[in-house]
Structure 1
Amino acid sequence: MKKKLILPVLFLSIGISNAQGNKPKSYELSSPEGKNKIQFQLVNNAPKYSVSHGKTVLISPSDLGFTLKNNEDLSTNFEIIKVENTSFDETWEQVWGEKKKIRNHYNQMVVQLQQKGQNKRKLEIQFRAFDDGIAFRYVYPKQNVKDSIFIMDEKTTFNLKEDGKAWWIPANRADRDEYLFKDSPVSTLDTVLTPLTIESKSGLAISFHEANLVDFASMTLVNTTGNQLKSDLVPWADGVKVRVKDTFTSSWRTIQIAEKPTDLITSYLILNLNEPNKLKSISYFKPYKYFGIWWGMHIGKYSFWEGPKQGATTKHAEEYIDFTAKEGFHHLLIEGWNKGWTPAWYENRMHMFSFTKSADNFDLEKVVEYGNKKGVALIGYHETGSNLINYLKEIDEGFALYKKLGIHSVKIGHVGSKLNMKEWHFGQFGVNYFRYVLEKAAEYDLAVLYHESIKDTGERRTFPNMVSREAARGQEYNAWSEGNPPNHLTILPFTRLLSGPMDFTPGIFDVEVKQGYNGRRVHGTAAQQLALYVTIYAPIQMMADLPENYEGKPALQFLKDVPTDWEDTKVLEGKIGEYITTVRKDRNSADWYLGSITNEKAREVKIPLSFLDKNTTYEAQIYADAEGTDETHNPSAIAISKKTVKASDVLQLKLGGAGGTAIRFKKL
């Protein structure tokens, strides 16, 4: 990965002696173009910060610090020891991603504090101001106080200057983050997960999240009073929030700030706050699309476990490999291939899976060999059932088996309300577990796809074998529950997807799920399912439907064409919960792709094509809802047409209710 350092400049350093008489109490940090500003000050010896965007105050003076064990207060009785300001500007390249070249440009202020009490504890607060938002984190340096550190509470608050409309899902619940988003005023929120996206009354769009989460608890947000949000760290089972020795560095607390919600999607602040790529080589992973023995299990055609309806059999695997190869694809996921699956596999209990022994009627080595002959690579699958005691005993053996067989991707599931039936997925225990497995996978040349995992905080920059994760309510809910309402897909890009790639598993052509449970279906059109390959970003994308539902369908061509690795991304228009239109440029050709989706409301959208290269002609290959099609009227019908276009043209699209349009702009 080539990096170009444009301008790292140290432009101000202020050292403050304890003996200094008139100490400055307030410091300001502006972003490079002055769009965002952070102010830091001590008020009665307690650190406070505030944030403004232009002339608009977003965050009024808010608290900083922690409460330690025995009610020791690490949020007051401070004096400023030193303030150091720096500026940094670089452009770096993603190994894979939604945008190839990313600029990382910020101004930084590091405030070193020391308490006046007996222990004289030190605390460093690092602030960064970007033109697309701000971030800060805590560093507790090694110091004379030699003891274990137990954080009982984080006192960080976000005092919003005014109320706003928030899109949220609850925190600390049995189904982790697999809930439908609700919208309500900030002043009415309970404890919620991040990213938390808010449209403020001032008209600005802001999103609260965190970045570079390592050996710390995840941050949730709780409304305490009025418009105040407070950090609420996810605890260990015994109530302690974070336990470390000698030193700690929190994740970055981030606030992305935009003039309109669509600009949040093309902010790369979260990635920029992570460390550069630590892997020497990632040659074993290239972005791809894949089929799977998966949807049939969710709709009830097959079972996950051994028996008469067993999905993972050698016979089924070879049939799926034949189809995958015939259609020109090269990856296949097979769930349930190993021993340990039972009809109660998803229930909260310490299930005992094997990660090396094949299920009855399935021969892993034979299937891999058959796939190799056909040019189809298997994606490994480990379902832990959240029994990590069992999994970590076998992880090396399981990963070694995959490496021996030439398997370079693994999906790892963690079904269960708590890890080991004890700890929250989002607590420090879970954070450390998921990072450990990611680094362990890199030792075996494995790319990782997490399900039922912690949220993404940008670690894919540091470990680009972290290729995708679920971490939200995905497609499978359409198979066995009341399903996802149409607006769910128009909320995800402005919320969950701000944190990173998602394995939503799109591509259902039989949206009425004729072979599935009675009354269960996808609440949208087949054309909308095509558009999701553009509106939802991931470097690996599943084509989730059954092979027979793709067989002979002209619309399959779009799935053959659409890439999963991009040169650039632009969001042309959108409104949270209503509609979105996204375009992306292929990293390996001159082609652009468009995805446009709507909620239950049919709409017409006009799309200026100014994103296309000027003085160039394109063939627009259009996959749209057929005339009269919507969620309840002939939803599988896709109208395919072609049109010659150029950058000066405007396309008018008609989206049926819960519908969509997907377009390939092929350079002529």
Structure 2
Amino acid sequence: MKNIVLLACLAVSGMFFSQNKTYELSSPKGKNKIKFELVNNAPKYAVSHGKTQVISPSDMGFLLKNNEDLSQNFEILKVENSTFDETWDQVWGEKKKIRNHYNQMVVKLQQKNQNKRKLDIQFRAYDDGVAFRYVYPNQNDKDSIFIMDEKTTFNLKEDGQAWWIPAYRENRYEYLYQKSPVSKLDTVHTPLTIESNSGLKLSFHEANLIDFASMTLVNTTGTQLKSDLVPWADGVKVRVKDSFTSSWRTIQIGEKAGDLIDSYLILNLNEPNKLGNPTYFKPYKYTGIWWGMHIGKYTFWESEKQGATTKNAFDYIDFTAKEGFHHMLIEGWNKGWTPQWYENHMHMFSFTKTADNFDIEKVVDYGNKKGVELIGYHETGSNLINYLKEIDAGFALYQKLGIHTVKIGHVGSKLNMKEWHHGQFGVNYFRYVLQKAAQYNLAVFYHEPIKDTGERRTYPNMLAREAARGQEYNAWSEGNPPSHVVILPFTRMLSGPMDYTPGVLDVEIKQGYPGKRIHGTTAQQLAMYVVFYSPIQMLADLPENYTGKPELQFLKDVPTDWDNTIVLNGEIGEYITTVRKDRNSNDWFLGSMTNEKSRDLSVSLSFLDKNARYEAQIYADAKGTSETVNPTAVAISKKIVKSTDVLQLHLGGSGGTAIRFKKL
């Protein structure tokens, strides 16, 4: 529901002003300011936060085919200013009501040469950051438009520490974050998080990415970052017919690290909900035949250790129903899996034919009797030629069976072994599949995807995605170091929900590959359900590792749909404490996690209702517990608390604490 909407517009004709005039736009409370001007007929912008300059004058524009320069020789035709204020409801999310309050300035430019190309630049100033995008209006171009380069730069006024993953690598976004000065960066993916030398926390990303190439950032000189659009195989960055609208280039600005997480700028820059309230999806937790394949207990393909069999499915359904959960994922259920399925080949998966020893109709029927709905799975192997031929038949099968969620994987370094996952081809493909799924009443979560840019606001059947190095790396690689899980909330997760697949209680992976383990404690795995936001959360471990474990109760209690979210404390790569209020009860939940260092944190409970008492149900690292010492030991206790209390948390090395505050 939308609340008060205020709109005011002012159009200023450029002919009344010198072309050297500076135009300024401030956020509603004046926290952030954008300055625009033409310098020698070239557009420049700058950004400041309070008295601190964040971005010094920086370039804007594009280079088109045949070296046609769309970044200079401009004059200003008009500048339009407006303000906007609304409060809108998320169908599901980390916060129910989101305020969208900004001031906007649209600068309409036209080149002074023979072609007289027009280009509009839209700026928005929020109190939690700034954004701008380019709109190239239809100008009756005879030929298609080919963008060969984007000239946008971000000239950081000062250096700082950046947390980043490399772009243009085989494993897409699935890399460990590195930390280095901005001045030492190469080409990196967004979100790019920076702590400037002045202490400001910055996140560079993009929003509402439609029919355009995604943006990476390259360090060109000093502390200057430049947009580097992901190209097609032939080197063209973007190809359109008559007009184009870029994604929003976003800079979220915070004084504390948690301010970046508390920002909803990315969502606010997307279009309103186009699907209404999809009744076929409500947030949930799920189990699945998945972790067993990663640790080597089962195989994805047909073999003596085949994971996706009717018998195994029945057993997993029994466990899921017994413990009170209602959704279950089965990977490897269909034809096409081989031991080489993850290698770069044009694998030919079927999306309607079942694997030997698996009867999908019997499994679905058995699940229905037990109150457990299957989650569909489509692994494309990045062979989209094959997938798009079968997508309607695959989705129709799920619709016929009453399946309402599909996980879609895209293992492979390039789509069709040719195009980047995050180029214009991939952007359009992932959006097409999302819209196609909606036609079949299917909600989607992607693995090996294009990064999130907030489209879940427009299409609430877009649930979550991977787009980072997730839990499975702990099963068969050197694993994710302790700092990884306290970097993700301040980097990758600023873009949107992540399907990290938490909940592995057997962190030492006793049934797995020799020497492989999770570099954290069991209590930390519990805390992830609060710290890592997703409307769908997996209980990733094997059923036998949950049976009889008292900490399973927290996983039963913790919701996946929230009324409010607050980050209480945190430093990037060090620690974080997050609290969230359940959307469907008066309960609050807390998750706190640390890197390899043990920590004692004081947490004010002022977020609780001031007129109530709560039972704090605490799941913490047992005394002396750390990643290497008794990591599965969880101390469970209860105490009565109120909003004026301060809670003392002790986190073991690579540990965590999870708490349910039950209102009495």
TM-score, normalised to structure 1, is 0.99
Q: CA deviation at 1:621?
A: 0.1
1:610 aligns with 2:609: no
Report the counterpart of residue 32 of structure 1 in structure 2: 28
Residues 469-508 of structure 1: pairs in structure 2 closer than 5 A: 469-508=465-504
Q: 1:535-585: per-residue Cα shift (whole Å, max 9, x none)?
A: 000000000000000001000000000000000000000010010000000
Distance between the aligned counterparts of 1:404 and 1:280, measured in 2? 23
Letter in 2 for 1:373: K
SS for the counterpart of 1:230 is: strand
Q: CA deviation at 1:16?
A: 2.4
Identify which of 633, 639, 648 aligns with 1:637.
Answer: 633
Asked if structure 1 preserves the Cα contact closer than 8 Å seen for 2:189 and 2:216, the reply is: yes
1:92 aligns with 2:88: yes
Distance between the aligned counterparts of 1:619 and 1:663, measured in 2? 10
Distance between the aligned counterparts of 1:633 and 1:227, measured in 2? 43
Report the counterpart of residue 4 of structure 1 in structure 2: 3
Cα distance, 1:280–1:568 mapped onto 2, change above 3 Å: closer
Letter in 2 for 1:216: F
Q: CA deviation at 1:4?
A: 2.0
Report the counterpart of residue 650 of structure 1 in structure 2: 646
Identify which of 196, 218, 238 aligns with 1:200.
Answer: 196
Residues 149-228 of structure 1: pairs in structure 2 closer than 5 A: 149-228=145-224
Distance between the aligned counterparts of 2:639 and 2:548, measured in 1? 23
Distance between the aligned counterparts of 1:493 and 1:16, measured in 2? 44
Distance between the aligned counterparts of 1:5 and 1:364, measured in 2? 50
Report the counterpart of residue 528 of structure 2 in structure 1: 532
Letter in 2 for 1:631: E
Letter in 1 for 2:491: T
Q: 1:121-144: per-residue Cα shift (whole Å, max 9, x none)?
A: 000000000000000000000014
Using the aligned pairs only, state the percent identity. 80
Distance between the aligned counterparts of 2:195 and 2:277, measured in 1? 41
Report the counterpart of residue 434 of structure 2 in structure 1: 438
SS for the counterpart of 1:321 is: helix
Q: 1:18-59: per-residue Cα shift (whole Å, max 9, x none)?
A: xx6744521000000000000000000000000000110000
Residues 567-646 of structure 1: pairs in structure 2 closer than 5 A: 567-646=563-642
Asked if structure 1 preserves the Cα contact closer than 8 Å seen for 2:434 and 2:462, the reply is: yes
1:385 aligns with 2:381: yes
1:337 aligns with 2:333: yes
Distance between the aligned counterparts of 1:8 and 1:610, measured in 2? 35
Letter in 2 for 1:401: L
SS for the counterpart of 1:274 is: coil
Asked if structure 2 preserves the Cα contact closer than 8 Å seen for 1:121 and 1:145, the reply is: no
Distance between the aligned counterparts of 1:292 and 1:369, measured in 2? 17
Report the counterpart of residue 130 of structure 2 in structure 1: 134
Q: CA deviation at 1:15?
A: 1.6
Residues 72-471 of structure 1: pairs in structure 2 closer than 5 A: 72-471=68-467
Distance between the aligned counterparts of 1:4 and 1:35, measured in 2? 24
Asked if structure 2 preserves the Cα contact closer than 8 Å seen for 1:608 and 1:648, the reply is: yes
Q: 1:430-464: per-residue Cα shift (whole Å, max 9, x none)?
A: 00000000000000000001000010000000000
Cα distance, 1:315–1:576 mapped onto 2, change above 3 Å: same
Identify which of 556, 560, 568 aligns with 1:560.
Answer: 556
Q: CA deviation at 1:504?
A: 0.2
Letter in 2 for 1:199: E
Q: 1:233-260: per-residue Cα shift (whole Å, max 9, x none)?
A: 0000000000000100000000000111
Distance between the aligned counterparts of 2:593 and 2:204, measured in 1? 25
Distance between the aligned counterparts of 1:23 and 1:44, measured in 2? 9
Letter in 2 for 1:183: K
SS for the counterpart of 1:614 is: coil
Report the counterpart of residue 13 of structure 2 in structure 1: 15
Asked if structure 2 preserves the Cα contact closer than 8 Å seen for 1:527 and 1:623, the reply is: yes
Distance between the aligned counterparts of 1:214 and 1:136, measured in 2? 15
Distance between the aligned counterparts of 1:279 and 1:602, measured in 2? 46
Structure 2 segments unaligned to the other structure (5+ residues)? none
Identify which of 28, 38, 44 aligns with 2:40.
Answer: 44
Report the counterpart of residue 667 of structure 1 in structure 2: 663
SS for the counterpart of 1:361 is: coil
Letter in 1 for 2:141: V
Distance between the aligned counterparts of 1:147 and 1:119, measured in 2? 13
Q: CA deviation at 1:97?
A: 0.2
SS for the counterpart of 2:3 is: strand
Asked if structure 1 preserves the Cα contact closer than 8 Å seen for 2:19 and 2:38, the reply is: no
Letter in 1 for 2:126: F
SS for the counterpart of 1:237 is: coil
Q: 1:245-284: per-residue Cα shift (whole Å, max 9, x none)?
A: 0100000000000111111001000000000000144110
Q: 1:40-97: per-residue Cα shift (whole Å, max 9, x none)?
A: 0000000000000011000000000000000000000000000000000000000000
Report the counterpart of residue 549 of structure 1 in structure 2: 545
SS for the counterpart of 1:458 is: coil
Distance between the aligned counterparts of 1:144 and 1:14, measured in 2? 26
Letter in 2 for 1:62: S
Q: 1:200-235: per-residue Cα shift (whole Å, max 9, x none)?
A: 011100100000000000000000000000000000
Letter in 1 for 2:453: T
Distance between the aligned counterparts of 1:71 and 1:250, measured in 2? 20
Distance between the aligned counterparts of 1:261 and 1:632, measured in 2? 29
Letter in 1 for 2:172: R
SS for the counterpart of 1:403 is: helix
SS for the counterpart of 1:91 is: strand
1:71 aligns with 2:67: yes
Distance between the aligned counterparts of 1:21 and 1:567, measured in 2? 48
Structure 1 segments unaligned to the other structure (5+ residues)? none
Q: CA deviation at 1:192?
A: 0.1
Distance between the aligned counterparts of 1:5 and 1:197, measured in 2? 33
SS for the counterpart of 1:202 is: coil
Q: 1:329-352: per-residue Cα shift (whole Å, max 9, x none)?
A: 000000000000000000000000
Q: CA deviation at 1:307?
A: 0.8
Distance between the aligned counterparts of 1:5 and 1:438, measured in 2? 31
Asked if structure 1 preserves the Cα contact closer than 8 Å seen for 2:20 and 2:38, the reply is: no
Asked if structure 2 preserves the Cα contact closer than 8 Å seen for 1:98 and 1:537, the reply is: yes
Q: CA deviation at 1:494?
A: 0.3
Letter in 1 for 2:652: G
Distance between the aligned counterparts of 1:248 and 1:512, measured in 2? 51
TM-score, normalised to structure 2, is 0.99
SS for the counterpart of 2:612 is: coil
Distance between the aligned counterparts of 2:242 and 2:629, measured in 1? 63
Letter in 2 for 1:149: I
Q: 1:510-545: per-residue Cα shift (whole Å, max 9, x none)?
A: 000000000000000000000000000000000000
Asked if structure 2 preserves the Cα contact closer than 8 Å seen for 1:119 and 1:145, the reply is: no
Q: 1:134-171: per-residue Cα shift (whole Å, max 9, x none)?
A: 00000000014332000000000000000000000000
Asked if structure 1 preserves the Cα contact closer than 8 Å seen for 2:618 and 2:638, the reply is: yes
